[in-house]
Chain A
Amino acid sequence: EDKVVQSPLSLVVHEGDTVTLNCSYEVTNFRSLLWYKQEKKAPTFLFMLTSSGIEKKSGRLSSILDKKELFSILNITATQTGDSAVYLCARSYGGATNKLIFGTGTLLAVQP
């Protein structure tokens, strides 16, 4: 079955902590792995990863993909209360369908 599994399901940290969110998937024939942040409403795009071992960074957020072991991680350093959100990862099928299949998400709560 084609699943995207995220862990942990939820996480509570204090401001300044560093967190690592995990995303694993079960099939190898994909085109990209995407990370989204969802606060109150619609998910907003963070990263798209297509190549193994190449880190993508945006400020305090970074992400990397391991296509051999079928997982990706999202790191957030020096967390702030504004980082509190649900973080979603998604696998893109690519090809003609371009389907995006999402994981269950990780709920991150950053306490002052």
Chain B
Amino acid sequence: NAGVTQTPKFRILKIGQSMTLQCTQDMNHNYMYWYRQDPGMGLKLIYYSVGAGITDKGEVPNGYNVSRSTTEDFPLRLELAAPSQTSVYFCASSYGDEAFFGQGTRLTVV
């Protein structure tokens, strides 16, 4: 049972590079989320989606973009990586209130 799958697990980017963090879920959940977690901090909501074709900004959306073309996939795009985007990124999905998390992507921007 896969649940929420994120790729890659680790990535080092140079300043100004771009990349896409992939997230897919096989639970047919309508709601999907992207969070970032800085050291010693809680989770900050970047973007979320209530269903295919519908996305909205969370608490810290600047520097990121998302799309939701299918129920299963919710990729997060960084266009011009900055050191401030060094963080651990978690994707999550839910049907009701309980969210299920992927294992995270550790991103370092140098």
Contact residues of A with B, CB < 8 Å? Answer: 4, 6, 31-32, 34, 41-45, 48, 88, 90, 92, 94, 96-105, 107
Asked if B48 and A99 make an inter-chain contact with CB atoms under 8 angstroms apart, the answer reads: yes
- Give how many B residues have a beta carbon under 8 Å from the other chain's beta carbons: 26
Chain B nearest CB from A112 CB (Å) reads 24
**A100 and B59 in contact (CB under 8 A), knowing A42-B102, A42-B104?**
no
Q: Which residues of chain B are within 8 angstroms of A99 by Cβ–Cβ distance?
A: 33, 45, 48, 58
**A43 and B98 in contact (CB under 8 A), knowing A97-B50, A101-B59?**
no
A48 touches which of B31, B58, B98, B103 (Cβ 8 Å) = B98
Asked if B43 and A34 make an inter-chain contact with CB atoms under 8 angstroms apart, the answer reads: no
Q: Which residues of chain B are within 8 angstroms of A34 by Cβ–Cβ distance?
A: 97-99
Asked if A43 and B103 make an inter-chain contact with CB atoms under 8 angstroms apart, the answer reads: no
Q: Which residues of chain A are within 8 angstroms of B40 by Cβ–Cβ distance?
A: 107
Asked if A42 and B101 make an inter-chain contact with CB atoms under 8 angstroms apart, the answer reads: yes
**A97 and B56 in contact (CB under 8 A), knowing A42-B101, A88-B43?**
yes
| 3 tightest Cβ-Cβ pairs between the two chains A and B | A42-B101, A102-B43, A104-B42
Asked if B103 and A94 make an inter-chain contact with CB atoms under 8 angstroms apart, the answer reads: no
Chain B nearest CB from A107 CB (Å) reads 8
Q: Which residues of chain B are within 8 angstroms of A98 by Cβ–Cβ distance?
A: 31, 48, 50, 94, 96-97
Q: Which residues of chain B are within 8 angstroms of A45 by Cβ–Cβ distance?
A: 98-100
Asked if A94 and B42 make an inter-chain contact with CB atoms under 8 angstroms apart, the answer reads: no
B residues 40-65 near A (Cβ < 8 Å) are: 40-45, 48, 50, 56, 58-59
Q: Which residues of chain B are within 8 angstroms of A6 by Cβ–Cβ distance?
A: 42
Is B74 part of the binding interface, using a Cβ–Cβ cutoff of 8 Å?
no
Chain B nearest CB from A39 CB (Å) reads 12
Nearest-CB residue, chain A, relative to B4:
A42
Asked if A48 and B97 make an inter-chain contact with CB atoms under 8 angstroms apart, the answer reads: yes
Q: Which residues of chain B are within 8 angstroms of A103 by Cβ–Cβ distance?
A: 42
Q: What are 17 pairs between A and B in contact, CB < 8 Å?
A: A34-B98, A41-B103, A42-B101, A42-B103, A45-B98, A45-B99, A48-B98, A96-B50, A97-B56, A98-B94, A100-B33, A100-B97, A100-B99, A102-B35, A102-B44, A102-B45, A107-B40
